[in-house]
Amino acid sequence: MSAPELGATSLLRYLWRQLTSMRTALILLLLLGIASIPGSIFPQRTQSPLKVREYFDDDPSGSKWLDRLYLFDVYGSPWFSAVYLLLFVSLVGCVLPRSLHYFKEIFAAPPGAPSLLNTMEGFQVSPARLESAEAWLKKDKFRISRTSDSIAAEKGYLRETGNLLFHLSLIVVLLGIAASSVFGMRGEAIVNVGERFINTPTNYDNLTPGRFFSLESLPPFTIKVNNFSASYDRKTSQALDYELRVTTKDSLDSSEVNQIVKVNEPLTFGSTRVYLQANGYSPLVTVRDSQNLVKFEGPVPFLPQDSNLGSIGAIKVPDMQPQIGFVSSFFPTAARDEVRGGFSSFPELLDPRLLVSVWKGDLKMDEGVPQSIYRIDTEEMERIGLWALSIGESYAFEVGSITLNGVVPWVNLQVVRDPGKQYALFGSILAITGLLISLFIRQRRIWVRQVGGNIEIAGLALNKLPGLEDEIGRMIREIGDQK
Amino acid sequence: MSRSDWAYLSNDLIYITLALFALSFLSYAYETAFSLRANKADGGKYLDRAVTTKARKIASILFVVATASLTLAVIARGISAERIPLGNMYEYSITGAMAFALAFLLIGIKFDLGWLGLPSSILILLILGTAITLLYRPSAPLVPALQSSWLVIHVSSAILSGGIFLLSNTVAGAYLWLDRMERKGERSEFAKRLPSLESLDQLSYRLVAFVFPLWTFAVISGAIWAEAAWGRYWGWDPKETWSFITWILFASYLHARVTAGWKGRKAAWLCLIAGSSYLFNYVYINVWGSGRHTYSGL
Ligand code: HEM
C-alpha cells in the first residue's frame, strides 16, 4: 500500500495547486472585498478614535468583544492580513508559472483542427479552396499551422499578455502598499501661527513610524508658520479658501524659502510631504497667582467642535498651589440662545469670547497616564469660578487671575513619508492597461478543413467575446469573391 | 445675466425637464398599456401598430427634448457657480441623471432601446425628483478640499460610470424579467416585440465592459487626489471601501463571463448585485455614512 507515502508531500502539493489556481485567486479577491465591509460599518481607530471611544462608553462589554474580533482595526487585523497575504501568495503562485507557460506558448503553433468541425462555433461550409482560405488568414495576420487537408489559425495572443500584465501589476501594487507601511512614516503636529516646526520626533503630537523606519532619518527641515488666512461665506459659514504662508528650510543651514500651502497643495521635502489638514484657534492667555506672579503664559490650542469653530479646550496650570485648571470653550463669534446657551455663529474672529470654568485641586498630570490636552479630569477638583472673557479682559478668582491677551490661529500639519506610492500608482496604471487589453482583444482560433470539394470552417472564441461568426462570414464572402 | 439669474434658470429648467420626462413617461406607459390591453382583448392577434408606433415616437421625441433641457440645466448650474457642477449631492444627481439619459440616447442609436424607455424615464424622474426636493442646495462655491482640477477628472468619471452601470442594470433587469416569462411559458404578445434574451445579455455585458475601465480610472484618480489632499492614497474611508467592493464585484462579473463562461441569468444577477453596491455607495454612504467624502453637507 502506498497510501502513507502519498501523505504529507502530496497533500502539500495538492493544497499549493488549489491555492494557486485562478479560481482561488478570484475567491480570495472576493473575500478581501467582503472582509473590508465591517470597516465601513464600525468606526476605525485609525480614522475616528473618538467614535471608537464613544462605542466603548455606550456599551463597554459589547465593545470589548468587537475589539477582540479587531472590528475597530479591521484593516490591520490578523484576519484581514491573512486574506491579503493569501491573495498575494496565490497571485504569485498563479501568475509566475502562467508567465513561463505563456512564453513557451508565444512561439507555439496553434493546435491542430479538431476532427469534427460542425460542433464548433460559427460552422460553415464553402465551395472555396483551402489555399485561398490560407491566403486570407495570412493576410489577416493569423498564425497558421497547416496539414495537407486542414489549417489551424490563431490570432489575438496579446490578450494573454494583457491578462498577465494585469495580474503581475497587482503584485506590484501590493508590494508598493507593503513598502509604504514598512518604510514610511506619518505624523501630525499642531503649530500656532508665529511658531516654528522643527522636524524632530519630540515636536509631533503623534507619530507612527513604519516598522523599518528609523526616527533618526527624519529629514531635518523646519517650517515657520507666518500666516494663516481663512475666508468664509457670510451667509452659510462655508469655508471658501484656506491659505497658509510659511518659510521653510530643508536643513538647519540651507537657505529660507517662502511658500504657500493649500488643502490640495502640500509642501514637498524629498520623499516627505507636509499637508494642511485642519485649523482652529489658540487663545493667548496669562495666568497669575495671588502674588501676581505669572504662572502660565502662551497660546493654548482649542479643538473645534462645529463648522463655526466653536471649540473646547483646557488650560492647565500645574505650578500653582493648589493646582488650577480651566475647563474652557472658545467662540470666535459669540452668540447665545435659549436652547444652546453660548455658541459660535461664525468661524471668523468677529466677537471672540473665552468661557472659563475655574477648577482647583489635583490635575493628575504626574501619574504617567497620557492625558488629552483638551480635557481635564475634574473628578477630584472643586469649581471656584466661571466667567466669559473678551480680548484684553481679566478675571480674578479665589487664588489668582486669568487674562485673555489675544487669539492666534493654529494649523494641523500632517507629515507623511510614503516611499511605496509610486510603485502602487505605476502598478495600477499597468494593471488598467493590461485589463483593457485582456477585455477588448479577441483571442480566437479558426480551423479550415478540406472535405470533398468543399471546405468546412469553424472556430473558437477563446475569451467568448462576440464577433467570431461575423468574421467567419466575412472570410467566406471574401474568399468566395476571389474565385 | 448675474450668477443668481443663472441659478434660477437652472432650477426652472430642472422643473421643465421633470415635466418633459413625466410626459415622455406617460407616452411610454400609454404605448405599453395599449399593447397589453390589445393583447387581452383579441388574444394578442391584432395589435394596432399605428397607435403604438405613434405613442413610441412621441415618447422618444419627448425624451430627447427632456435630455436637452436637462443638459442645459446642468450647464446653467455650472455657470451660476462658476465651476463644474459637481460640488454636492444635488449636483451629482442631476449630472448623473444626465449621463444616464445621454448614454441611453447614444447607445439607442446603435441598439434599439426604445422599449427600455418606460423604466428609464421612471428612473430619471426618481433621481431628479429626489434631487430637487430632498437634496437641493443653493448654488455656492466649492469647499477648499474640492478646489482642485482632480474634481473634474475624478468625479465626472465616477458619476459617468454610475450612469452607465445603472443602464447596464436596467438591461440586466429586463433580461431577468423576460427570462422568467419565457421559463413560465411563451412571451406575451407585448414582450415578443422586445429583443431576444441573447442580445440583452450581450448588451448588458458590453455596457459593463465599456465602463469598467472608466470606473477603474475613477477609483485610481480618486487615490491620486487623496494623496494630494489628504496625505494618503488609500485609507479605507467608507467611500473608498465601497468603491473597492464595487470594483471587485464588476471585475468578478467580467472574469466570470470571460473565463468561466457565465452568461444569462447568473450573470444578470451578478450584474445587479455589483450595481447595487455602487448605488449603496452613492446613496447610503453619502447620506448616512461618515468619512471624508461627506464634506459638502450632502
Ligand atoms: C482613494 C481615494 C478615493 C476613492 C476610491 C474615491 C472613490 C469615489 C467614488 C467611487 C465616487 C463615486 C460616487 C459614489 O459612488 O458615491 C466618488 C465620488 C466623489 N469623490 Fe472620491 N474617491 C477618492 C478620493 C477623493 C478625494 C481625495 C476627493 C476630494 C477631496 C474626492 C471627492 C469626491 C467627490 C466630490 C465625489 C462626488 C460625490 C460623491 O459621490 O460623494 N474623492 N469618489
**Nearest-angstrom CA–CA distance, B153 and B149:** 7
Model confidence pLDDT, tens digit, residues B95-122: 989 988 998 888 888 777 777 888 888 8
Answer whether B136's CB lies under 8 Å from B109's CB: no
Residue in the block written with cell 463669534:
A333
A469, A428, A379: which is closest to A173 by C-alpha?
A428
Residue in the block written with cell 503623534:
A206
Sign of CA dihedral A342, A348, A353, A357: positive
A255: CB partners within 8 A, 6+ apart: A249
A34 by DSSP, 3-state: which? helix
In chain A, whose CA is at the least distance from the CA of B285? A40
Helical residues (DSSP H) of chain B, grouped into ranges: 3-41, 49-81, 89-110, 117-130, 150, 156-184, 189-192, 197-230, 238-258, 264-280, 286-287
C-beta atoms of A233 and B140 within 8 A = yes
**Nearest-angstrom CA–CA distance, B181 and B39:** 16
On whether the pTM is more than 0.90, the answer is no
Torsion of CA A121, A122, A127, A129, to 10 degrees: -60
Model confidence pLDDT, tens digit, residues B194-230: 788 888 888 898 899 889 989 998 999 999 999 888 8
A147: CB partners within 8 A, 6+ apart: A112, A113
**Nearest-angstrom CA–CA distance, B86 and B77:** 10
Q: What is the mean pLDDT of chain B?
A: 84
A283: CB partners within 8 A, 6+ apart: A299, A300, A302, A313, A328, A330, A352, A354, A404, A406, A407
Answer whether B260's CB lies under 8 Å from B167's CB: no
Residue in the block written with cell 430632498:
B134
Q: Which residues of chain A have pLDDT under 70?
A: 1-6, 106, 368-370, 481-483
Answer whether B265's CB lies under 8 Å from B179's CB: yes
DSSP per residue over B170-235, as a string?
HHHHHHHHHHHHHHHSSPPHHHHTSPPHHHHHHHHHHHHHHHHHHHHHHHHHHHHHHHHHHS-S--
* Res A3: pLDDT: 46
Instruction: Tell me which long-range contacts A139-144 makes (C-beta under 8 A, separation of at least 24).
Output: A142/A446, A143/A109, A143/A110, A144/A109, A144/A110
Q: Is B291 on the interface with A (CB under 8 A)?
A: yes
> In which band, very low, low, confident or very high, does the pLDDT at B40 lie, cut at 50, 70 and 90?
low
C-beta atoms of B144 and A186 within 8 A = no
* Res B23: pLDDT: 93
Model confidence pLDDT, tens digit, residues B143-179: 788 888 888 899 889 988 998 899 999 999 999 998 9
Cell numbers given for A395: 478675571
Residue in the block written with cell 410626459:
B23
A313, A273, A296: which is closest to A414 by C-alpha?
A273
Question: How many CB atoms are closer than 10 A to CB A294?
Answer: 11
Nearest CA to ligand 1 atom 15: B282
* Res B235: pLDDT: 83
**Nearest-angstrom CA–CA distance, B240 and B250:** 15
In chain A, whose CA is at the least distance from the CA of B258? A463
**Nearest-angstrom CA–CA distance, B22 and A306:** 41
B294, B295, B274, B275: which is closest to A40 by C-alpha?
B294
C-beta atoms of A238 and B140 within 8 A = yes
**ω before A318 within 30° of 0 (cis)?**
no
Answer whether B175's CB lies under 8 Å from B204's CB: yes
Q: What angle do CA B274, B278, B280 make, to 5 degrees?
A: 110
C-beta atoms of A435 and B212 within 8 A = yes
Alpha carbon A179 to chain centroid distance?
14
**Nearest-angstrom CA–CA distance, A46 and A208:** 11
**Nearest-angstrom CA–CA distance, A144 and B272:** 41
Atom of ligand 1 nearest to the CA of B89: 38
> In which band, very low, low, confident or very high, does the pLDDT at B42 lie, cut at 50, 70 and 90?
low
What is the predicted ipTM? 0.75
**Exposed e or buried b for every residue in B250-280, given b needs 16+ CB within 10 A?**
bbbbbbbbbbeebbebebbebbbebbebbee
Which amino acid, one-letter code, is at A282? S
**Nearest-angstrom CA–CA distance, A62 and A50:** 17
Alpha carbon A357 to chain centroid distance?
41
Residue B295 has pLDDT above 60, yes or no: no
**Nearest-angstrom CA–CA distance, B166 and B177:** 16
Please, is A305 exposed, middle or buried when counting C-beta atoms within 10 Å of its C-beta (0-12, 13-18, 19+)? middle
When scoring A160, A264, A441 by the number of chain B Cβ atoms within 10 A, the one with the most, hence best to mutate, is A264
Sign of CA dihedral A86, A92, A98, A102: positive
Alpha carbon B295 to chain centroid distance?
24
Answer whether A232's CB lies under 8 Å from A409's CB: no
CA distance A33 to chain B (A): 5
Q: Is B230 on the interface with A (CB under 8 A)?
A: yes
Residue B37 has pLDDT above 70, yes or no: no
Q: Which residues line ligand 1 (CB under 6 A)?
A: B 92, 145-146, 154-155, 158, 218-219, 222-223, 225-226, 229-230, 233-234, 239-240, 243, 278, 281-282, 286, 293
Residue in the block written with cell 477603474:
B216
The closest CB to that of A33, out of B209, B234, B245, belongs to B245
**Nearest-angstrom CA–CA distance, A477 and A473:** 6
Q: What is the mean pLDDT of chain A?
A: 86
Rounded to whole angstroms, the maximal C-alpha distance in chain B is: 69
B153: CB partners within 8 A, 6+ apart: B221
Q: What letter does residue B145 receive in the DSSP assignment?
A: G
Question: How many CB atoms are closer than 10 A to CB A194?
Answer: 16
